[in-house]
Amino acid sequence: MTDDGGHQSGTGNGTGSGHNNKRDDIIQARLKSGELKLYELEKELAPIDAIRVRREYIEQETGSQMENIGIFSIDVERVVKRNCENMIGTIQVPLGVAGPIAIKGGYAQGDFWLPLATTEGALLASVNRGCSAITRAGGAEVRVLHDGMTRAPLFATESVVHAAEVCDWVAAHREELRAAAEATTSHGKLTDIVTFVAGTSVFVRLEFDTKDAMGMNMVTIASAKVADLVAEGTGARLIALSGNMCTDKKPAAINAIMGRGRSTVAGVALSHELIAQVLKTDAKTIHEVNYRKNFVGSARAGAMGFNAHAANVVAAMFIACGQDAAHAIDGSTCITTVDLTDTGIYVAVTLPSLPVGTVGGGTSVETQQECLRILGVAGSGDPPGTHARKLAEIIAAGVLAGELSLLGALASQHLARAHQKLGRG
């Protein structure tokens, strides 16, 4: 079977070394008996055949057919080694584009089509409308304010006095720790060390410039070396290489305050005329919706983010562009602001934590890499780091488009109508 472009698909019905019924029957029997584990299949079969045999085994175990999961066009040789264990196929998420959107960033400059992978009807249409408003207004102004990926090893001390001594030791040995960390990587640079104490627990929050990589693997390896030196030099016991002060894949005020990944802001000035033409409402109503919904409503709910649906766009672009989808939660800490001006409004989004990269991880999967190419950010930038920051700026502009459109829909009372038309299953 082939995909729509005529490329060979990974259906397991002729790809790779192909079917060998006798061999497959023997392997299935060994899996059933427990002699062979599912994760060991790649040791005996080519990756494409291991995927097919594993999928067939799960079909037998569950009594379900997976005809579509087994259809794909990506090259699995790298994926099974770097991205996904126990692979049985792929999940296809619909991919759409919004735009073009004009961006005036420090790294992203020009008109861009935004790839968004989602199953939520009306999202693409909404972002597309926001892109139109931004482009007609002259483009989104975007800047990366801070850049740093973090890891925070956790240590146990004997007393609060010992805890304070550990903090003092770290401060006195910053250069030694920096050299040790940077010796583990040819790209990363240790840019900051901050210590936190809670009773006898000490957290050492390390921040790195990871260039074009999102950098979690890089900083974890470097942090392990730092943690060993801290434990050796202070007598503190290393409890966990990640102590949750990083903070990774969880909503956290520390990321909103100190930043993590690429901290990015985007804004645009809209005239009264443009608001009326594109968003079908007026400046004062959008301002009030943002104040009462995004500020008062979020505060009353105890939310960590003050926005309409920023994570929607972050998640859709993360999935499309090979980012770690779990980090989309960082998009929920976005703050959307609306300032009234003499000529209309100035709308801005502040995204303090966008952990993105253009090399490593899921960015090497062919379909995701094609989306990165759409944006002109595939691979490493020149100089290193520029592609990742450009991607962060583009995502921030997309979030701004999404916020604008939803605020407009709420202000004009059109939200239910749009979902009724576009979002029903």
Q: For residue 100, is the peptide bond before it cis, meaning its omega torsion is within 30 degrees of 0?
A: yes
Task: Look at the pTM and tell me if it is higher than 0.85.
Answer: yes
- Confidence (pLDDT) at 361: 94
Of 287, 323, 329, whose CA–CA distance to 310 is shortest? 329
Q: Are residues 31 and 82 in the same domain?
A: yes
Q: Are residues 85 and 201 in the same domain?
A: no
Which DSSP string corresponds to 47-84?
A: HHHHHHHHHHHHHHHHT---TTTT---S-HHHHHHHT-
Burial of 418 (0-12, 13-18, 19+ CB in 10 A): middle
Joined together, the tokens standing for residue 160 give 């609060």
What angle in degrees, to the nearest 10, is found between the helix axes of 216-234 and 160-172? Answer: 120
Q: Are residues 71 and 101 in the same domain?
A: no
Average pLDDT over residues 211-239: 97
φ and ψ at residue 192, rounded to 5 degrees? -160, 150
- Quick: pLDDT tens for 76-93: 998 999 999 999 999 999
Average pLDDT over residues 110-138: 97
Q: Are residues 306 and 327 in the same domain?
A: yes
pLDDT band at 20 (very low <50, low <70, confident <90, very high): confident
- Confidence (pLDDT) at 421: 58
- Confidence (pLDDT) at 9: 47
Task: Identify the H or E element spanning 308.
Answer: none
Kindly list the catalytic residues: 120, 324, 419
246 within domain boundaries? no
278 within domain boundaries? yes
255 within domain boundaries? no
Report the share of the chain in percent with pLDDT over 90: 91
- Confidence (pLDDT) at 418: 52
Q: What is the CATH number of the domain that holds 230?
A: 3.30.70.420
pLDDT band at 413 (very low <50, low <70, confident <90, very high): confident
pLDDT band at 12 (very low <50, low <70, confident <90, very high): very low
Q: Is the pLDDT of residue 120 over 60?
A: yes
Angle CA(46)–CA(50)–CA(53) in degrees, nearest 5? 135
| C-beta atoms surrounding 92 within 10 Å | 12
pLDDT band at 11 (very low <50, low <70, confident <90, very high): very low
Gap between the Cα atoms of 157 and 139, Å rounded: 53
Joined together, the tokens standing for residue 330 give 């960082």
Q: What is the CATH number of the domain that holds 119?
A: 3.90.770.10
3 state SS of 89: coil
- Confidence (pLDDT) at 21: 86
Q: Which amino acid is at 2?
A: T
Q: Is the pLDDT of residue 425 over 60?
A: no
Q: Are residues 27 and 51 in the same domain?
A: yes
Beta strands at 344-351 and 335-340: parallel, antiparallel or unpaired = antiparallel
Q: Is the pLDDT of residue 4 over 70?
A: no
Q: Are residues 309 and 221 in the same domain?
A: no
Q: Are residues 162 and 304 in the same domain?
A: no
Number of domains in the chain: 3
Gap between the Cα atoms of 308 and 314, Å rounded: 13
Mean pLDDT for all residues in the chain: 93
- Confidence (pLDDT) at 422: 55
- Quick: pLDDT tens for 56-83: 999 999 999 999 999 999 999 989 999 9
198 within domain boundaries? yes
276 within domain boundaries? yes
Gap between the Cα atoms of 315 and 327, Å rounded: 8
Q: Are residues 188 and 61 in the same domain?
A: no
297 within domain boundaries? yes
- Confidence (pLDDT) at 420: 53
395 within domain boundaries? yes
**CA dihedral of residues 227, 229, 235, 238 (deg, nearest 10):** 20
- Which of 192, 208, 240 is where one domain is finished? 240
Gap between the Cα atoms of 102 and 97, Å rounded: 14
- Confidence (pLDDT) at 19: 76
- Quick: pLDDT tens for 147-161: 999 999 999 999 999
- Confidence (pLDDT) at 399: 98
| C-beta atoms surrounding 119 within 10 Å | 9
- Confidence (pLDDT) at 419: 52
Q: Is the pLDDT of residue 308 over 50?
A: yes
- Quick: pLDDT tens for 356-402: 999 999 999 999 999 999 999 999 999 999 999 999 999 999 999 99
- Which of 170, 205, 240 is where one domain is finished? 240
> How far apart, in Å, are the Cα atoms of 70 and each of 63, 87, 370, 398, 408?
16, 10, 21, 32, 42
Q: Are residues 303 and 410 in the same domain?
A: yes
Report the share of the chain in percent with pLDDT over 70: 93
Q: For residue 185, is the peptide bond before it cis, meaning its omega torsion is within 30 degrees of 0?
A: no
- CA count, 13 A, side-chain hemisphere, 65: 2
Q: Is the pLDDT of residue 13 over 50?
A: no
Of 73, 65, 114, 113, whose CA–CA distance to 92 is shortest? 73
Identify how many contiguous H helices and E strands the chain contains and give both numbers.
Answer: 15, 11
3 state SS of 261: strand
Q: Are residues 67 and 101 in the same domain?
A: no
247 within domain boundaries? no
Q: Which amino acid is at 120?
A: E
DSSP state, residue 356:
-
Structural domain containing residue 4: 1-92
Q: Are residues 108 and 229 in the same domain?
A: no
Q: Are residues 226 and 269 in the same domain?
A: no
DSSP state, residue 343:
S
pLDDT band at 10 (very low <50, low <70, confident <90, very high): very low
- Which of 52, 73, 92 is where one domain is finished? 92
